[in-house]
């Protein structure tokens, strides 16, 4: 039999459960909660047996034992929790804000990152965003990709920005440092799908789940860096513009084209080992930065554009290679 209060659930162990494991008994008494989640609650100290906290899921219970369970919020329930964190907001008005995302910051809550994401930081800074889907976020950057993102502050602005993204009128320009000598200009129109060999990678493919992906690429600069022995390594600074916004799109397309991003842990191709002292080893993430963002203001319809220079780690890499200056709004897409 059981009874409940606002804070806890109480159970008395019946004869049919005598001698069974605590987690197994609770799974029978609380069928709406997964056994794995109940085990976590036990290990967190949220369960008592006869008034004593037990953190061992294999604890045996006897008939007549009194169990108290303090229900714990799920990670998903914590996902929309406001969490104070420094955010580099470079523009804000009543309708939108534009943030310069640092490396290491996940955009949306997910397994392993339920309450330390950009979404959590936005909710702490702008509590009104809790009424919007995904707290007003309309596009994303990979965890270790830096740069510009626009966030809506009203439902009307969010709807308009999503329509602009669907119409491919939002200008998203990225700087990437890639292995090899890239051509002056290129256009990659290759569908992207989840890599069947890896749950965390994507690849160019033609499967039924492949999605259209289009990337415009322009060469900004080219250089050689010290390689093994007397053989130098070629490296290019390219600018990329997206017509579509698939997960890992630039990283996958550039690897497919033979120019994997420097420092990319997932799509490094044949460039996994660099000679000692090579400047390309300075960066510990993919060398990718969302440098420019252009869009039509959702309310005023004014054409707006922002630029942020490369962050310190990428700027240091570019300086060591000889790509400079990196603090000016270089663009090779002015005619598009």
Per-residue DSSP letter, 179? E
Per-residue DSSP letter, 95? S
Q: How far is CA 94 from the centre of its chain?
A: 26
Q: Which residues contact 126 (CB under 8 A, 6 or more apart)?
A: 97, 136, 153
Q: Which residues contact 178 (CB under 8 A, 6 or more apart)?
A: 235, 236, 238, 254, 259, 260, 261, 262, 287
Whether 66 contacts 17, CB under 8 Å: no
Query: Is 243 one of the annotated active-site residues of the chain?
Result: no
Angle between helix 35-43 and helix 22-29 axes, rounded to 10 deg: 130
- Which of these, 198, 307, 179, 176, lies nearest to 249 by C-alpha position? 176
d(CA 334, CA 33): 56
Q: Active site residue: 65, 142, 144, 264, which one? A: 142
Dihedral sign of CA atoms 32, 37, 38, 41 in order? negative
Catalytic residues: 142
């Amino acid at each position: 039999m059981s009874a409940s209060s606002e804070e806890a659930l109480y159970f008395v162990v019946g004869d049919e459960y005598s001698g069974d494991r605590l987690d197994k008994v609770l799974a029978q008494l609380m069928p709406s909660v997964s056994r794995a989640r109940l085990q976590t609650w036990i290990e967190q100290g949220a369960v008592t047996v006869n008034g004593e906290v037990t953190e061992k899921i294999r604890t045996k219970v006897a008939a007549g034992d009194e169990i108290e369970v303090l229900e714990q919020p799920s990670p998903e329930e914590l996902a929309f929790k406001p969490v104070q964190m420094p955010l580099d907001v470079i523009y804000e008005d009543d309708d939108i804000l534009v943030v310069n995302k640092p490396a290491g910051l996940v955009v949306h809550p997910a397994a392993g990152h339920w309450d330390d994401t950009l979404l959590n930081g936005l909710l702490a800074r702008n509590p009104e965003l809790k009424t919007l889907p995904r707290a007003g976020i309309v596009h994303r950057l990979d965890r270790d990709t830096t740069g510009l993102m626009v966030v809506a502050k009203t439902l009307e602005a969010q709807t308009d920005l999503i329509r602009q993204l669907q119409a491919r009128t939002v200008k998203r320009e990225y700087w990437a440092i890639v292995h090899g000598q890239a051509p002056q200009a290129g256009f990659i129109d290759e569908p992207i799908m989840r890599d069947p060999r890896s749950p965390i990678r994507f690849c160019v493919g033609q499967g039924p789940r492949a999605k259209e992906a289009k990337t415009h690429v322009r060469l900004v600069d080219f250089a050689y860096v010290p390689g093994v022995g007397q053989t130098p390594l070629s490296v290019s600074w390219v600018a990329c513009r997206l017509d579509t916004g698939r997960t890992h799109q630039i990283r996958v397309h550039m690897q497919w084209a033979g120019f994997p991003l420097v420092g990319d842990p997932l799509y490094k191709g044949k460039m996994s080992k660099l000679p000692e002292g090579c400047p390309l080893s300075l960066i510990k993430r993919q060398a990718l930065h969302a440098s420019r963002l252009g869009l039509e203001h959702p309310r005023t319809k004014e054409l707006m554009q922002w630029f942020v220079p490369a962050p310190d780690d990428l700027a240091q890499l570019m300086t060591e290679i000889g790509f400079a200056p990196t603090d000016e709004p270089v663009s090779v897409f002015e005619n598009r």
